[in-house]
Amino acid sequence: MKKKTVRQTMLPLLALLLAGCAVPLPANRSYAEVPLNSAQHFAVSVYAAGDWQDSGVTLKSGDRFFLDAQGTWSGGLGWVSGPSGAVGLDVGRILPEEPAATALIGRIGSGAPFSVRDQYFGTAANDGNLFMRMNDPTTFDNSGALSVDIYVEAAPMGNTGTVNVH
């Protein structure tokens, strides 16, 4: 029988230990109430094992929107977290500016991704459907889903009168 070297024995053990070293970030729920006065409400699920997922909600440039996410999901390797994600080994991220590899991120149409985490309040910079996903480029080993409430307040209609330029 062939003897295993220390490296052959210790590396798999070390990998298993480090995989469980992700630290879930605490929830950051800045808003106790929806910060919009008259908004449409939509409820969707965002799956950890999916790529960019279309919420079915179309935003127009200037629309204000609020996202409120709850639940838990796993980025694989035992990384269980909520929408704020977890930090640990740098296993890759779709949005490098977001330090939590398993945080909820979004984008409008084909626009640039932005960090959502537990809650996000913003104004649409461009027209398009709202897409969301986990900040993880490898989704084959992910599981779970988050529930996301989406609130949209349409941008005020512009002045339809004639503007004279001198």
Question: Which is more confident, 62 or 19?
Answer: 62
Give the chain's mean pLDDT.
Answer: 82
Query: Tens digit of pLDDT for each residue in 115-163?
Result: 999 999 999 999 999 999 999 998 999 999 999 999 999 998 753 333 3
Asked whether the predicted pLDDT for residue 68 surpasses 60, the reply is yes
pTM of the model: 0.79
- Answer whether residue 43 shows pLDDT above 90: yes
pLDDT at 75 over 80: yes
**DSSP assignments along 127-147, one per residue:** -EEEEEEES-S--TT-EEEEE
DSSP 45-108: EEETT-SSEEEEEEE-TT-EEEEEEEEEEE-STT-EE-TT-EESS----SSTTS--TT-EEEEE
Residue 19 has pLDDT above 70, yes or no: no
- The superfamily (CATH) of domain 49-156 is Galactose-binding lectin (2.60.120.430)
